[in-house]
Amino acid sequence: MNADVIAAGITGRSLASIDDFSNVELSCVLSGAADVGAGMERYGDVCRGKIMASLFFEPSTRTRLSFETAMLRLGGQVVSAVDIGATSLAKGETLADMARVVGGYADIIVMRHPWEGAARVVSEHAGVPVINAGDGGHEHPTQTLCDLYTLKKDQGHLEGIRIALWGDLKYGRTVHSLTWALARFGATVVFRPGAGLAAPQYVLSKLATDYGGEVVSGEHLRRDEVEGVLPVDAIYVTPHSPHQLAMLPHMSAQMELDRGVDALYVTRVQKERLRAEGDDGQPLKYPIVNRRLLKTPGFERSVVLHPLPRVDELAREIDSDPRSLYFAQAHQGVPVRMALIALILGRMPAGISCSESPSDDWVPTAHMEYMHDTGVQCPNERCVANQPTERRYLRQRFKLIDSTPPRLRCMYCDHEVEVMAVATSEAYDEPTSRRKYHSPTSRWANAIRRDNLLVFSSIQDAESRGFKPGAKEKVSG
């Protein structure tokens, strides 16, 4: 596909999730960033006359300043709000109303917000493109662009990279976006969390459902316990292995692990989110990256990335190691965001090369939207759809994941609902006495047409809507 056609396809688009852009579009942003970095002065007027609204309702240094620097270097202007308490949101204004107002002042909005899924809501109401600069513990797609750019610049490619994600994988939003992006480029991802900070189930579930490959639990891998590095929590192997290994995912995962990793992606403890959960303590056995670790077999050639800020998880003794890329990674946020803004505003100069690769044909998995009202709610209390001000107008929205048992995935924050019972909507045409619900793992569940499938998160919800237990099924074996 022609590079200018790809760039034109990005114009006017929002980036609320890393999955909003295809692989070819991500590659176009990275190529644009390389061009900006090679001659930033050539971009000094491309966004003249354009205004960016910078809305940062959580603390930020690098992301906010790099976005605002990027817009100014492009010749544009910036208006900002950095404190919810100083905005009408503190008066009870909804995100949708704020979006409509700010969208009338600016040509593009960049927003960080503590509610997960907030950027998606704003993008649906602003009338101008919206870039997610972090929504709670959910995603941080532009940090992922910086990460991919840094990795590609160092490694020369993204396909087939082996990377260990290190530290707070539960609340680290940068890790979630990066995990999904890496899977799309054929990476092997090793999860090494601090105690109690493993990657959320919804992140691993989406890996297996939407990107193929195999997530192998650490309990199936060899427990060598090398200098506290192993055991790992899990390893994700993308579907590029020979057929024989694909049939033996545990062996494939162990072989990948034995080869060592190309990169370590380190994260700090997200104490602000631990406090919100009622826990302000430092997790025990939090993994530290230091000089000794980088000499350990499997890590001798690993580069080190970190989204910053760091606390104690990254020893300062390795700052001088040429494999420590985290400060260069932070600096590269400016050209990456310059390219992204210019592309979205349709101001990127013609002729940017967008490299293609075998993984460039990735498109989001098409899941059916669940359209029935069965009282199901997103289980994530930090989800935007569960906030009192937003519930006035936002309905609960889910994608139906066609698996056994079926699952519902929140369209705002990606958390999944555990399904306890299923029925068919055709039963509403039957007398109440004939309305039956069934186990989500039963043969009845598989027989129901997916557009007719009713799901319930509790037996009580099913029975409150007039459904009674279905016929008991024979248990085989």
So where are the chain's domains? 3-139+331-361, 142-324, 368-469
Which of 19, 144, 82, 136 lies closest to 387 in space, CA to CA? 136
CA angle, 90 then 94 then 95, to 5°: 100
Which of 164, 68, 158, 58 lies closest to 108 in space, CA to CA? 68
Q: What pLDDT shows up at residue 354?
A: 65
Which of 168, 161, 382 lies closest to 276 in space, CA to CA? 382
CA angle, 14 then 378 then 23, to 5°: 30
Q: What is the pTM of this model?
A: 0.88
Q: What pLDDT shows up at residue 132?
A: 98
| 307 within 8 A of 63, measured Cβ to Cβ | no
Q: Judge if the upstream peptide bond of residue 114 is cis by omega within 30 degrees of 0.
A: no
Distance of alpha carbon 452 from the chain centroid: 30
Task: State how far the alpha carbon of 332 is from the alpha carbons of 84, 144, 307, 352, in Å.
Answer: 29, 12, 11, 18
Is residue 135 helix, strand or coil? strand
Which runs of consecutive H residues, i.e. helices, occur in 259-332?
Answer: 271-276, 291-294, 326-331
CA distance 359 to 70: 29
Block residue for tokens 């189930």: 201
142-324 matches 3-139+331-361 in CATH topology: yes
CA distance 114 to 413: 12
CATH for 142-324 is 3.40.50.1370
Consecutive 10-residue runs of the chain (477 residues): their mean pLDDT?
A: 79 96 92 94 95 93 94 97 69 91 97 96 98 95 96 92 88 91 88 84 89 67 48 58 35 51 86 54 70 84 90 89 92 96 93 60 83 94 95 95 92 96 90 88 88 94 91 45
CATH superfamily of 3-139+331-361: Aspartate/ornithine carbamoyltransferase (3.40.50.1370)
